[in-house]
Amino acid sequence: MADAKDPSNAAIADLLDELGDLYELDGAVVHRVLAYRNGAKAVREAPRAVAAMVRAGTVTELPGIGATLEEKLQALLTTGSIPALEKLRGKLPAGLLQITRLPGLGPKRARKLHDALGVDGPVALRDAIAAHRVRELPGFGAKSEERLLAALDAAGDDLAGPERHRLDRALQVGEALVAALREVPGVDRVELAGSARRRADTVKDLDVIATAEDPAALLAAFRSSDLIADVERGGEAGAHGTTQTGIGVDLRVVAPDQFGNLLQHFTGSKAHNVAIREAAVKRGLHVSEYGILDDATGESERFAREEDVYARLGLPWIPPELREDRGELRLTEVPRLVEPGDLRGDLHMHTTASDGTASVREMALAARDRGLEYVAITDHSASHGFGNAVSADRLRELIAEVRAVDDELDGITVLAGSEVNIGTDGALDYPDELLVELDWVVASVHTAFTSDPTRRIVAACEHPLVDVIGHPTGRKLGQRTGYELDLDRVVEAARGSGTFLEINGSPARRDLHDVHARAARDAGVLLCIDSDAHRTETLENTLWGVMTARRAWLTAQDVANTRPWPELRALRKGGR
DNA sequence: GCCGTTTTCGGCCCGACTGTTTTCAGTCG
């Protein structure tokens, strides 16, 4: 088990990334730098607390963590710092790392600016450009000064990395754009690639791959689309633009016979492609976006279909959601991942009784229209603090209302539930004799995020009347990272008690996220995919939950609410 | 720095673009 003061996986991964960046600035060979970045990825995606693995001496089981990185992590845990990192930080100013985020300025050239001109950050760089000292350096010229100045002006004060966009917002415009381009006469195929196709939580930009008998018509349609605000550059082979909503779009037009190669390449992830290519080299094959070169024949093969690219490499077609280099290349057969149509029920939603906008009846009807067999009405509990608090007396009325709607409506079972707050003491804010009246109990943390959420959630798991933990980590994409949670202990508590864990489908949450949901499943925990709908329209949020579940390698069997309600009811803890 | 049905040492994905260069290193995706 992790110590309360241990750094999180994310914090450890950030340190390894920083080490890689600093070693790169220091002129280390590229593969050593890559080793730190691979190590950072392994730590960031590790399902268990890496600090605990370091203490247990098992951290080298992670792919990419060897003896040297283990030693550095041991130092981090025993002394609180990594000596090599401290030394490099003393040698290379933080501002130097910042300016490498400027487009066109990498570690080599940044280091040259530092060593020759004393540039230690964006301010010093701007001064050096103003004095025309940069153009005097070998490898730099007037054009370099011009471009760097423009980049400094565009970057703003903090030189932060590129903004990332939530998947729902990216897909909304991305799918509309793809649909519009498919309608253009002379256009053959158009597909969304990149992290949007992999259904990642967030995307940096949109990649669109197309084939067309008439590429000019396609490009003209792209330029004039009312979804696109402006097109920065473009030729015959593609264009780069920005949507009205501020998301960059790369459009590539390719020959039909290599559409499969391009789609595979631009779907990524980068780590997936690197792993594919490394494995291919061992078989005498060289994979690129243009084809697969066979050493034996010297011939390069192109494929119109992505399935054939994978087949040529001896692999089954791998669903995009799995392409993260998390073991998918060892699959000989791809599991049938859960699909939206597999969900029979939705066990987390709100009505006007708390902070929703629709009645019990309206929510039930909308769910029935969506093809669901059952729903649980789970308004917030007595101490929620947002919208209407549902007192114990009010909940009794609400249960009666739910029973009445359930009696009235055919074709859908309406269950009485609640989303109960987990207090700072780990207790729930309704008495047990009321909770036992409910068909379904979601328990969630909504307050005091820093007040030992692990202990509180474990306590909720051990409560005999709690069915599922709602949005277990509390993260909100682009807003907050979630509570400092020991997921190992939560998963163990859920497994031991028979509590389900939620994949909350709100596109701002998608919580649990994919890595943790996969770890929970592997530990033997059943997941619930819920909408957390506050309006009838957001019942469709389960779609985002399914995307996360697929990225977690989940099958329908791994998801509790793919079962008919009588079967799921019997699976609850204690068979209550 | 990691890793092993080619290896415990010698490898470690692929290609395009850019600006500065007369053949390429650095950067990017």
**Residue A557 confidence (pLDDT):** 98
* Element (DSSP H or E) covering residue A212: strand A205-212
Helix (H, G, I), strand (E, B) or coil at A233: strand
Distance from first CA to last CA of chain A, Å, rounded?
A: 31
Res. A2 pLDDT band, cuts 50 70 90 = low
How far in angstroms lies nucleotide B15's C1' from the CA of residue A400?
A: 66
Model confidence at A483, pLDDT cuts 50, 70, 90, reads confident
Provide the pLDDT for residue A237: 83
Mean pLDDT of A129-135: 94
How much is the average pLDDT of A523-549?
Answer: 98
Which residues, including other chains, have CB under 8 Å from residue A218's CB and lie 6 or more apart? A181, A184, A186, A187, A210, A212, A251, A253
**Contact (CB, 8 A) for A148 and A130:** no
pLDDT in tens, A37-53: 999 999 999 988 999 99
| Nucleotide at minimal C1' distance from the A266 CA | B29
Nucleotide nearest to A36 (CA to C1'): B1
Of A133-142, A233-242, A245-254, A384-393, least confident by mean pLDDT is A384-393
pLDDT score recorded for residue A481: 87
Question: What average pLDDT does this structure show over A356-381?
Answer: 97
B28 C1' to A459 CA distance, Å:
49
pLDDT value of residue A236: 75
CA of A31 to C1' of B2 (A): 9
Dump pLDDT digits (tens) for A264-291: 999 999 999 999 999 999 999 999 999 9
Residue from A236, A234, A265 nearest A249 by CA: A234
DSSP per-residue string spanning A181-203: HHTSTTEEEEEEEHHHHTT-SEE
| Architecture in CATH of A94-155 | Orthogonal Bundle (1.10)
Mean pLDDT value of segment A390-402: 94
Measured from Cα to the C1' atom, the residue closest to B1 is: A32
Q: Which residue is nearest to nucleotide B17 (CA to C1')?
A: A104
Decide if A269 contacts A196 (C-beta within 8 A).
no
Non-local (6+) Cβ contacts of A298 within 8 A are none
Average pLDDT over chain A reads: 93
Q: How far is the CA of A106 from the C1' of B27 (A)?
A: 6
pLDDT digits (tens, 9 = 90+) for A177-202: 999 999 999 999 999 999 999 999 99
Fold of A340-575: TIM Barrel (3.20.20)
Q: Which residue is nearest to nucleotide B16 (CA to C1')?
A: A289
Q: What is the pLDDT of residue A478?
A: 87
For residue A9, report the phi and psi dihedrals to the nearest 5 degrees: -55, -40
Sketch the domain layout of chain A as residue ranges: 9-91, 94-155, 165-253, 259-330, 340-575
Pairing verdict, β A202-203 and A527-530: unpaired
Tell me how far apart the alpha carbons of residues A561 and A554 are, in angstroms, rounded to a whole number: 13
Q: According to the model, what pLDDT value does residue A382 have?
A: 78
- Give the percent of chain A with pLDDT over 90: 87
Of how many residues is chain A composed? 576
Side chain identity at residue A81, one-letter code:
S
DSSP track, A297-343? T--EE--SSHHHHHHHTT-PPPPGGGTTTSSGGG-SS---B--GGG-
Q: Which nucleotide is nearest to A68 (CA to C1')?
A: B1
Q: What is the mean pLDDT of residues A489-494?
A: 97
Q: Which residue in this structure is represented by tokens 């084809």?
A: A291
Q: A552 CA to B12 C1', in Å?
A: 29
| Chain segment A414-466, per-residue pLDDT in tens | 999 999 999 999 999 999 999 999 999 999 999 888 889 999 999 999 999 99
A94-155 shares the fold of A9-91: yes
Q: Which bases of chain B are under 7 A from a protein CB atom? A: 1-3, 5-6, 11-16, 18-21, 25-29
Signed CA dihedral, A520, A525, A531, A533: sign only: negative
Instruction: Give the CATH fold of the A259-330 domain.
Output: Beta Polymerase; domain 3 (3.30.210)
Residue A529's pLDDT is what?
A: 98
| pLDDT of residue A516 exceeding 60 | yes
- Assess if CATH 3.40.50.12140 describes domain A9-91: no
* pLDDT given at position A351: 96
Q: Between the CA of A284 and the C1' of B21, what is the distance in angstroms? A: 35
Q: Which nucleotide is nearest to A146 (CA to C1')?
A: B19
CA gap A213, A561 in Å, rounded: 46
Peptide bond preceding A512 in cis form (omega within 30 of 0): yes
With vertex at residue A574, the alpha carbon angle to CA A571 and CA A576, rounded to the nearest 5 degrees, is 75
Backbone phi, psi, residue A208, to 5°: -120, 130
What is the phi/psi pair of residue A444, to 5°?
-140, 155
Could you list the beta-strand ranges (E) of A222-296: 228-234, 238-243, 248-253, 285-288, 291-294
- Considering only CA atoms, which residue is closest to the C1' of nucleotide B4? A282
- Kindly report, residue by residue over A287-338, the tens digit of the pLDDT: 999 999 998 898 999 999 999 999 999 999 999 999 999 999 999 999 999 9
- CA A228 to C1' B19, in angstroms, rounded, equals 31
Residue A418 CA to B23 C1' — how many Å? 71
CATH architecture of the domain with range A165-253: 2-Layer Sandwich (3.30)
**Dihedral sign, CA of A121, A123, A124, A125?**
positive
Protein residue closest to B3, using CA and C1': A64
